[in-house]
């Protein structure tokens, strides 16, 4: 299990254990983390699982693929250099301690 910290827009932090092989989005959904809607269920077909990855972690993640990059243009909240779709971040031991922030809105 890998510990992931989700920080809500209001600053509320929740650290949960997520099984390797799941996505950051699935970890949020499975642990009732507010702020990640995941309307498409992880198919990279919406932008309702948009998160801001803590800058200390952004270079430790695989680069965005073209589909994710394009989909982020449709996110409700402003896109930044650390924006990612949480459905596209696969959990592995190397991400233990990952911190992501949810935007103010997903819709």
Q: How far apart are the C-alpha atoms of 92 and 37, rounded to whole Å? A: 22
Structural domains of the chain, with CATH: 2-101 (3.10.20.30)
Q: How far apart are the C-alpha atoms of 104 and 107, rounded to whole Å? A: 9
Write the pLDDT tens digit of every residue in 72-87: 999 999 999 999 999 9
Q: What is the pTM of this model?
A: 0.95
Write the pLDDT tens digit of every residue in 20-62: 999 999 999 999 999 999 999 999 999 999 999 999 999 999 9
Q: What are the Cα distances from residue 1, in Å, to 27, 61, 73?
A: 11, 18, 32
Name 87's bridge partners.
none
Please identify which residue in the block is written with the tokens 């949960």. Answer: 16
């Amino acid at each position: 299990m890998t510990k992931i910290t989700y920080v809500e827009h209001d600053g509320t932090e929740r650290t949960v254990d997520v099984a390797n092989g799941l996505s950051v989005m699935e970890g949020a959904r499975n642990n009732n983390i507010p702020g990640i809607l995941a309307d498409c269920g992880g198919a990279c077909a919406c932008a309702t699982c948009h998160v801001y990855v803590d800058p200390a972690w952004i270079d430790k993640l695989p680069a965005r693929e073209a589909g994710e990059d394009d989909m982020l243009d449709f996110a409700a909240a402003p896109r930044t250099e650390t924006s990612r779709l949480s459905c596209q971040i696969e959990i592995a031991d190397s991400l233990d301690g990952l911190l992501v922030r949810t935007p103010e809105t997903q819709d």
